[in-house]
Each structure stands twice: as C-alpha cells, then as structure tokens.
Amino acid sequence: MTEKEPKDQNEIATIEAQLISMTESFLAELGRERAQRALNRDASLQRDLTIDSLGKVELFHRIEAFYEVELSENVMIAYLIVGPRAGTQPALGPETQNALTRTS
C-alpha cells in the first residue's frame, strides 16, 4: 500500500475525530468511564487513559484494520514504549497522519 499526504486540515481533523471515537469505544468496552472522560487529542494512552501495552497493541490493530494500513514500527514503538511527549511530539504527527490517510 502506498501512503499519501493528508489533503488539508479538515482531513486531519476528521482522522483525529475518528481516532478519538475508536479510542472512546475501546475504553467503553473495557469499562473505563473515568478514562473516557479524560479522553482528548492530547491524552497519553498510558498516563491519562490507563491503557497498558497489551491494550495499546489491541487499539493499534483496530486502527490498522479500520484504515486498512500497517502502522510503521517507528509509530508503534513511539506510542507503545515512549508515548507522545508534551511539546516534542504532536498527538498526530506527520508519520502517523500519513500512515492513517486512506490510500486511493
């Protein structure tokens, strides 16, 4: 599959909304009401949403299936091990945006 750049800020906003919705559904399945209330575009999967490593893997598999993409190892490592760092890595960085943009 080839990756493409998001067309504009509206497309990026749509992707972010879809990711938040998928994460909210995942948290609901886990019965994590408190985490659902803490969910926003800047929330840390581990610290704010209390999603452990296995939960992250499951969530990433759902994202890959929804967008019909394979997330790169760099994206997986960044979010499984390190997670986004405030001020240094946007919640939806360029590599993630490219990976999640549907292919034509």
Indicate the helix (H) or strand (E) that contains 98. Answer: helix 94-100
Side-chain-side CA neighbours of residue 6 (13 Å): 19
Q: What are the pLDDT digits (tens) for 28-37?
A: 999 999 999 9
Burial degree of 96 (CB within 10 A; 0-12, 13-18, 19+): buried
Higher pLDDT, 49 or 94: 49
Q: What are the pLDDT digits (tens) for 55-81?
A: 988 999 999 999 898 888 787 777 665
pLDDT band at 82 (very low <50, low <70, confident <90, very high): very low
Higher pLDDT, 89 or 45: 45
CATH architecture of 9-100: Orthogonal Bundle (1.10)
Q: What are the pLDDT digits (tens) for 83-96?
A: 454 444 444 555 55
